[in-house]
Structure 1
Amino acid sequence: MLAAPAAAQVHEVASPDGTNRIAIGLNANGTPLYRVTRRGAQIITNSPIVLDLDVDSLGYGMAITGTEQASADASYPIVAGKAAQGRDHYNQLTVRFQEKGGAKRRMDVVLRAYDDGVAFRTVIPLQAATAAAIIRYEKTGFYFPEAYKCWGFNVGKFGSSHEGEFDPVDTARMRDHNLFSLPFLCETGKAAFALAEADLLDFAGMYLTGRGDGGLGLQLKLSPSLSDYRIAVRTRVGSPIVTPWRVVMLADKAGQLTESTLITNLSTPSRIEDTSWIKPGLTSWDWWSGPVIARLPGKRTSTEVSKALIDFAAENGWPYAMIDEGWYAGAGGGGVRRPGVDLTRWSDPINIEEVAAYAKSKNVRLWLWAHWEAIDDQMEEALTLYERLGIAGIKVDFMDRDDQWMVNWYSKLLAAAARHRIMVDLHGAYPPRGLARTYPNFMTQEGVMGAEYNKWSKRVTARHNVMLAYSRGLIGPMDYTPGGFRNVSPDQFRIRGDLPFVQTTRAHGLGLYVVFDSPLGAVADSPDTYAESPAGLEFLRDVPASWDETRFLAGETGAFIVMARRKGKTWYLGALNAEAGRTARVPLSFLGSKRHEMTLWTDGDAPNAVTKSERAMSGEDVLELKLAPNGGAVAIFRTR
């Protein structure tokens, strides 16, 4: 066990409202230990901050040589996401450490306290003793004072697409061979917190494991280099070594974490000066449904199918149509890049130049899919062509890595795309770290087990969807790709690749567009499906893809959630329910004193049916939502 720091050695910083505090000091071994409290209750107990470098560790035998305080309260625009702007309001404390012997290396720890969480990062200043050092491991801990009720995604390995369930975790039995993706959510009985990472640039991605000593809590583990698993980060001569922010999001209830912009607050400001060309919106999409269009039998990726999806987008007022895998020369390998693929030439069944011109005539723009290795080989050539063709964005897939090299490749791609005014959707991606602030053309991403899993599994349950709102959805946009309109009950669900089913109600599916944050929102099913079963489609014509404000209204972790999001003067409500039916009482105080006209879609008498109603409501009212098993609801509130 790590002994607590002596009181005289402890330095602390509090959030502007005084609710959250993070403190740091030294134990008897000279190791920096930090702790986190909320309203006086300990959330994270004394935990070490140690870096393993080339041949030894930095974080032992240290002395505190000074401190520096700072504060900030500034707003910045969020180009696309859960709010129109973020408020970067914090108090900061930098504590300077130096080894008492040996090379007397220096190390700073920067602590920040916000009203919605705390964060810290380690900075190794420029000094001869650490010039061009290698970071092998980071041994930062997140130690718990007691067993908590927690949920995590045990991804189990490095080098994955981070697609899986956030399951309950027995915190007394977390092992050092477990490997959890981010975020990691816990409830203490008095508060809720989520462990995450922000401002990941030129560094290796962060995972969490159980403690090697068997104690309560978690240990940080860095994604290793593919060329040498004993190395995580290669640093640059002439630059300080700066870790990303290690983040503890905090709230009284887990659902309130959904309102936080802490991850983007902590991230590097936009590197794109003019963002006027970045436009959120919904897109039709070919891949999820097959594509299958009855009047085009046997046609898959083709000029004809693409034009049909463009027509579908135009008819419904959506700005985009997405053409997935199979359109470029040599495509068809899915996750395997075939030799000789060419992103500047088309496969025989499709003429992208003709399709792009047709899209323009319909006031629709295209998104194009590409394997990341193909983009890497032809980046500038391909992006130059796409800009000339008026392509809106690219969906880049199968990176399946978060080592330092790939982290840097994300920035390389996003910067190059921005030069050509092209937006980006990353699939096969690690979970968000706030990069959408740094590159606002980064519209959305995977790193989530989304609706595609309906094509080959029964894993996308209503409970999974609800749990995503309380976990993966906390830290950034997710391209879950909703819109499946072949709704059936779980006992009637069967797996098929073309025209897949979904095992939730229609109202639940509509709720995904409000509860989940994705500035590029997929409308995933075939135009035929919507024509055959249009109930609720009118909501998708109205719902925005980016928001001015977000509110958590009601819920219980993993069981149900009700959220409201505002765009301009209009509020949108979304509710998701798991397998147990319930009636949720939802206060409408977010509406204020003005009367609003509410249009409400709730569960109907069959999975693919909705009940639509209208009435006047105000902030003094409480809305009673009857949520079916695997059900949901949506509503629009417009001022009278």
Structure 2
Amino acid sequence: MKQLIFLFALLVLGFNLAAKDYTLESPTGKITVKIAVGEKISYEVLLNGKAIIAPSTISMTLDDATSWGIGEKVKKAKTASVSQELKPVVQRKFATIKDEYNQLTLSFKDHSLEVRAYDKGAAYRWVSNKKGDYKVMSEEVNFNFPADHNIWFPEEESFMSHQERVYLRDKLSNVGSDRFCSTGMLVDCGNNVKTYISESGLLDYAGLWLQGSDENANALVGKFPGVVLEEELIRDRDMKPTKYADYIAECSGPRNFPWRVMLITENDADLIQSDLIYQLAPEQLIENTDWIKPGKVAWDWWNANNIYGVDFESGINNQTYKYYIDFASKYGLDYIILDEGWYHLGDVLDVVDDIDIRELVDYGKSKNVDIILWVVWKTLDDKLIEALDQFKAWGVKGIKIDFMQRDDQWMVNFYEKIAKECAKRELLVDFHGAYKPVGLDRAYPNVISYEGVRGLENNKWSELPDPEHNLTLPFIRMVAGPMDYTPGAMINKTKLNFNPVFTEPMSMGTRCHQLGLYVVFESPLQMLADNPSNYYREPECMEFLSAVPSTWDDTKVLEAKVSDYVAIARRSGDTWYVGALTDWDPREMELKLDFLGNGTYTMKVWKDGINADKHAADFAQETVQVTSGSTVKVKMAPGGGWVAIISKK
């Protein structure tokens, strides 16, 4: 285990077991969680003494007609104070994560309730000590707010979803029981306070969704897909449930249930800097991780393999993919991906005639470039062991597995099965068509990225994502974990000039907006979405894209406002990378470089060109000398961006 643990205190307190109220404070006392045990168990969360979550009841009902949290008596209560350092195998924003919290455990007859208080949030979960088999019929999850707050609501129409949502601005009172969303989602509690709601430690259980309440207009209520009893296969990829059970999970023996997470921040920057979902996740479950290699990937599907300026016909063939490998090698990219088309759909081992995987793997090795294969989840599952063994024999380094589109208990277990079987064969996993991260990447660090985000691919057929959407993602979706948004478009358009084109796609916003996404958006397996032929024509941009890392030692959020703007400085080794983004509003910022060390640094800048408001691909460069006392003026066009590399002189 690559983590250093310093247990500063483990304090067990003897509560009066007749007492019905328990109070837990975070390490500095900023967050307080109150638990009331009466006819029903309820919790309340306060920030600096002010209620953020009003008293909210919680319970879990089993098939033996017992209901945890209803009419219970506490047998034992204890608290623990923990301070430790976590060292992620695959870094996302920090090389070391400080993990400090206080925990209250209330023990009942055959289960317990664990509650944690962090200085920037709170979480609780049920823990079972039961033996034998049992079913969870329902789980009562309530988030009652003291007022009718504004929200960012990723509304859904069905449990069958890629969870690639737009975060709608709405109010709690407008979300009744007939509307629901996937998680995480964000609540604006006023006075700059935000509450992000999600879950962590989702294993062998159904995912958490949220709906409104007809009883309390200021509440959000948990909603779960039932166990799937019947399903229908549509094409090779869409396994659509047609009948759900009236229970949400089948269980056996003692187990932990998922954490219900509330991240509470007093400034928007803390949403970006949070690792709370990771901190609450299950500890690492695989031993050898030396083979896990983050990096950047040349991606074929977004631009439909539409390369040009070559003396062969482009398409799904070895010549085209060798062209991708040559491009990746020239610019130091670690991988190329073979997306849809390399096998005959329906049989993952029936490779098309114009593709020779082993030849491509060998050619890539000669160029220090490895191969990742895209697969449909159902087609892979039909021949799982045989296919993964073949991928390993070919020398492939990972899979991009797609179109799961569900988070019922069976599918959640499928995710873990894939992570485990791929780890046995030293294969990376990038989940697409996926629900949001919930900590599986801590348990299985070979799970290196997730989609579950409306990313750049949608611009092939849609005006979303656009810069407005992009400025919500760091504060909501990215809080959960890495997101495979797939940035890097070299054809860039203003709002007026944009037009969806499937085979030669473009992005909304400026060229430097696309470059800025590589600093702002976190994905240890980061794609370069565009056509290598286009990249070859942009050597100035490739100077940045070839240098920017996909993992980070440190992160500093310099400016941030949800849905409006962000500026982030990230460090890799001794070099800092700074990225800024704006929505459709032009914007100017002054960024202090006080995060730098002593001495003079060279700062190379890529910025929106003077005409970027009319021709979005316009950009300019400059190189200046800076110190920790410098302030940099940043000017961005509508939908614009700004990036810099700062290295020691």
- TM bucket by the smaller chain? over 0.9
CA contact (8 A) 1:291 1:301 kept: yes
Question: Where do 5+ consecutive residues of structure 1 fail to align?
Answer: 1-6, 98-104, 332-337
Out of 217, 221, 228, the residue aligned to residue 215 of structure 1 is 217
More displaced 10-residue stretch of structure 1: 275-284 or 383-392: 383-392
Distance 1:164 1:298, change over 3 A: farther
Q: Tell me what 2:257 maps to.
A: 243
Counterpart among 272, 279, 304 of residue 258 in structure 1: 272
> What TM-score, normalized to structure 1?
0.92
Q: Which residue of 1 aligns with 2:114?
A: 110
The aligned counterpart of 2:473 is 468
Question: Cα offset for 1:169?
Answer: 2.0
8 Å Cα contact 1:112-1:120 kept in structure 2: yes
Indicate which of 282, 285, 295 corresponds to 1:281.
295
Structure 1 partner of 2:96: 85
Instruction: Work out the CA distance in 2 between the residues paired with 1:373 and 1:55.
Output: 34
Quote the residue 2:206 is aligned against: 204
The residue number in structure 2 matching 1:487 is 492
Which SS does the other structure have where 1:491 is aligned? coil
Question: Which of 116, 119, 126 is 1:122 aligned to?
Answer: 126
Please, which moves more after superposition, 301-310 or 603-612? 603-612
Deviating more after overlay: 310-319 vs 106-115: 106-115
Structure 2 residue aligned with 1:146: 147
Return the offset for 1:8: 5.7
In structure 2, the CA distance between the partners of 1:501 and 1:15, relative to structure 1 (3 Å rule), is same
The match for 1:322 among 337, 347, 371 is: 337
Q: In structure 2, how many angstroms separate the alpha carbons of the residues matched to 1:497 and 1:297?
A: 22
Corresponding letter in the other structure for 1:132: D
Superposition deviation, residue 51 in structure 1: 1.5
- One-letter identity of the residue aligned with 1:171: L
Shift of 1:115: 2.1
Q: Take 2:129 and 2:608, find their aligned partners in 1: how far apart are those partners?
A: 58
Q: Which residue of 1 aligns with 2:179?
A: 178
Cross-structure match for 2:20: 9
TM-score (normalised: structure 2):
0.91
What are the equivalent positions in structure 2 for 1:376-525 lying under 5 Å apart? Answer: 376-525=381-530
Give 1:566-605 correspondences, 5 Å limit. 566-604=571-609, 605=611
- Residue range with higher mean Cα deviation, 378-387 or 459-468: 378-387
Secondary structure of the 2:430 match is: strand
Q: Give the whole-Å Cα distance in 2 for the aligned partners of 1:40 and 1:165.
A: 33
Q: 1:288-367 maps to which residues of 2 (within 5 A)?
A: 288-294=302-308, 295=310, 298-328=313-343, 330-331=344-345, 338=346, 341-343=347-349, 345-367=350-372
Superposed, which structure 2 residues align to 1:548-563 within 5 Å? 548-563=553-568
Does residue 44 (structure 1) correspond to residue 71 (structure 2)? The answer is no
Partner of 2:182, secondary structure, is: coil
Work out the CA distance in 1 between the residues paired with 2:130 and 2:527. Answer: 46
Q: Which moved more, 1:163-172 or 1:592-601?
A: 592-601
| Superimposed CA distance per residue, residues 351-404 of structure 1 (whole angstroms, 9 cap, x where no aligned partner) | 111111111111100011111112112222222222222211111111111011
**Is the deviation greater in 533-542 or in 274-283?**
533-542
One-letter amino acid of the structure 2 residue matched with residue 637 of structure 1: I
Residue 143 and residue 592 in structure 1: after superposition, are their counterparts in 2 closer, same or farther (change >3 A)? Answer: farther
The 1-side partners of 2:584 and 2:590 are apart by 18
Q: Which amino acid aligns with 1:373?
A: K
1:23 Cα shift? 1.5
1:334 corresponds to: none
Q: Say which of 194, 197, 200 aligns to 1:195.
A: 197
In the alignment, is the contact (CA less than 8 A) between 1:152 and 1:167 conserved in 2? yes
Residue aligning to 1:71: 81
Partner of 1:236, secondary structure, is strand
**The residue matched to 2:180 in structure 1 has which SS?**
coil
Task: Decide whether the 8 Å contact of 2:301 with 2:340 is kept in 1.
Answer: yes
> Which whole-Å CA distance do the structure 2 matches of 1:585 and 1:172 have between them?
38
**Deviation at residue 591 of structure 1 after TM alignment:** 1.9
Q: How many Å apart are 1:446 and its aligned residue?
A: 0.7
Preserved CA contact (<8 Å) 1:136 1:230: no
Matched, 1:167 2:181: no
1:513 maps to amino acid: Y
Residue 235 of structure 1: SS of its match in structure 2? strand
Whether 2:390 is the aligned partner of 1:373: answer: no
Q: CA deviation at 1:555?
A: 2.0
The residue aligned with 2:543 is 538
1:205 to partner: Cα distance: 0.5
Tell whether the 8 Å contact from 2:112 to 2:128 is kept in structure 1 after alignment.
yes
Change (3 A) 1:181 1:234: closer
* C-alpha separation in 1, matches of 2:254 and 2:217: 33
Letter of the 2:647 partner, please give it.
R
After TM superposition, give the deviation of residue 411 of structure 1 in Å. Answer: 0.8
- Give the Cα–Cα distance (whole angstroms) in 2 for the partners of residues 115 and 24 of structure 1: 17
Q: Distance in 1 between matches of 2:247 and 2:323?
A: 47
* Stretch of structure 1 that moved more, 469-478 or 210-219: 210-219
1:294-352 Cα shifts (integer Å, max 9, x gaps): 22665321111111100110011111111101112x22xxxxxx3xx142x42012111
Measure the CA separation in 2 of the matches of 1:520 and 1:138: 35
Q: Please state whether the residue corresponding to 1:590 is helix, strand or coil.
A: coil
Asked if the contact 2:605–2:642 (Cα under 8 Å) also holds between the matched residues in 1, the reply is yes
| Distance of 2:581 and 2:460 partners within structure 1 | 21
Paired residues, what number?
611
Q: In the aligned structure 2, how far is the partner of 1:40 from the partner of 1:65? A: 29
- Over the matched positions of the two proteins, sequence identity in percent amounts to 37
Q: SS of the counterpart of 1:586?
A: strand
In the alignment, the residues of structure 1 paired with residue 329 and residue 26 of structure 2 have an alpha-carbon distance, to the nearest angstrom, of: 48
Alpha-carbon distance, 1:532 to partner: 3.1
**Preserved contact between residue 358 and residue 395 of structure 2 (Cα < 8 Å):** no
CA contact (8 A) 2:149 2:218 kept: no
- Offset of 1:62 from its aligned partner? 2.1
CA distance 1:594–1:89, shift in 2 (3 Å): farther
Letter in 2 for 1:217: A
Which has the larger displacement, 474-483 or 246-255?
246-255
Distance in 1 (CA, whole Å) between partners of 2:619 and 2:470 is 19
Matched with 1:637 is 646
TM-aligned CA deviation for residue 496 of structure 1: 0.9
Q: Distance in 1 between matches of 2:487 and 2:527?
A: 6
